[in-house]
Amino acid sequence: MLAARLSSRGHISLAEESIPPPEPGTDTELLRITSVGLCGSDLHWFAEGGIGDARLGRPLVLGHEFAAVIEGGPRHGERVAVDPSVPCGRCPTCLRGQGHLCPQVEFAGHGARDGALRQFVRWPRHALHTLPAALDDDAGAILEPLGVALHACDLAHLRLGSSVAVVGCGPIGLLLIACARAAGATSVAAIEPLEHRRRAALAAGADTAAHPDEQILPDFDVVFEVSGAPAAVELSMRAARPGGRVVLVGIPDEDVTSFPASVARRKGLTILVSRRMKDGVYARGIALIQQGRVDVSTLVTHAYPLARVAEAFATATARIGLKVVVRVAD
């Protein structure tokens, strides 16, 4: 099979490799990968050779937003969306129902666990979610970032009639706008430096879309920060009303997040840090798409075959569109 490996910062290449063998003692399925979305965290690995305190220690197959087809066995031919997280299931954190925070969690395309930018992968059966016929493979890949958005909304405790601001309108920011609307927010503002993403934010359901340099009134019940840039974090704190909530979703380039303490303290802000997603979000995401409450059909703006994976990363890094996908089956 063909696999794309990141060998060093900015260097990703294809190589012929063997199909992953069965894993002893685990309930896994062999998957033929169809669609892989490139995430901001993939771009951190690509551009910086790591993310946070995790560094590139060997050539790594990236990709954690993916859809696939089961190969062989009783479910042969079944289309699935794949949860990229493999928690241990035994530690106190997992037993509290917080597998996404498991200290021993393995994650596709991160550290020691290769991801989906290859033709075949073996993956635990419990992490496979059947795709209905109405959802194509690209939509199946987008279920992962949609799950991230749903988890962030859960942390925010959104209430009917809430006012919401989303700072940073890449794909997850756009999905947060749609989720906030579905959760009953009556006012949603987008804050984004790129004009084409401000237009996309309005199409996703935002009432207004402003450049960060514009004056932002500090009156939002909930602010989602989806950039990771220090200026975006500070802006989020200033945009929240006194007593409001700020959910940090973005990942900073450096392993540090900072903000003016006086602003957060005087407002008495509740600050939450969102990590990936909890169980149950895939089924919720599928239902939201099927019911027309979240539209993912316009999110993919660029698609490449696996043979052009380097071009896919160049496009995603340039941020000239929205979601870039690699269609491995093409």
Residue 2: predicted pLDDT: 96
Residue 256: predicted pLDDT: 87
Would you say residue 164 lies in a domain?
A: yes
Handedness of CA 205, 183, 251, 139 (dihedral sign): negative
pLDDT reading at 23 higher than 80: no
Do the beta carbons of residue 274 and residue 248 sit within 8 Å?
Answer: yes
The structural domain count of the chain equals 2
Would you say residue 138 lies in a domain?
A: no
Residues 82, 173, single domain; the answer is: no
Which structural domain, as residue segments, surrounds residue 213?
A: 147-273
Residues 116, 15, single domain; the answer is: yes
Output the average pLDDT for the chain.
95
Would you say residue 281 lies in a domain?
A: no
Mean pLDDT calculated for residue range 305-311: 97
Would you say residue 107 lies in a domain?
A: yes
Strands (E) across 193-273 are located at: 208-210, 220-225, 240-248, 270-273
Residues 50, 169, single domain; the answer is: no
Do the beta carbons of residue 285 and residue 291 sit within 8 Å?
Answer: no
The structure tokens listed for 114 are 């290769």
Q: Tens digits of per-residue pLDDT, 98-129? A: 999 999 999 999 988 999 999 999 999 999 99
Of 57, 122, 123, residue with least CA distance to 86: 123
Would you say residue 292 lies in a domain?
A: no
Give Cα separations from 35 to 86, 107, 115, 117, 328 (angstroms): 20, 18, 12, 9, 6
Give Cα separations from 322 to 87, 112, 165, 219 (angstroms): 30, 29, 19, 28
Would you say residue 284 lies in a domain?
A: no
Do the beta carbons of residue 299 and residue 306 sit within 8 Å?
Answer: no
Residues 119, 8, single domain; the answer is: yes
pLDDT reading at 264 higher than 70: yes
Q: Which of 33-37, 46-50, 233-237 has the lowest mean pLDDT?
A: 46-50
Q: Tens digits of per-residue pLDDT, 159-179? A: 999 999 999 999 999 999 999
Degrees (nearest 5) of the Cα angle 317, 164, 212?
Answer: 45
Residues 223, 195, single domain; the answer is: yes
Residues 106, 168, single domain; the answer is: no
Of 70, 71, 89, 91, residue with least CA distance to 81: 70
Residues 110, 60, single domain; the answer is: yes
User: What is the domain-level CATH number for residue 79?
Assistant: 3.90.180.10
Residues 93, 193, single domain; the answer is: no
- Return d(Cα 156, Cα 150) in angstroms, integer: 10
Would you say residue 280 lies in a domain?
A: no
The pTM of the full predicted model, rounded to 2 decimals, is: 0.95
Q: Tens digits of per-residue pLDDT, 43-95? A: 999 998 888 888 888 999 999 999 999 999 999 999 999 999 999 999 999 99
Do the beta carbons of residue 258 and residue 230 sit within 8 Å?
Answer: yes
User: What is the domain-level CATH number for residue 219?
Assistant: 3.40.50.720
Mean pLDDT calculated for residue range 285-310: 96
Band (25; pLDDT cuts 50, 70, 90): low
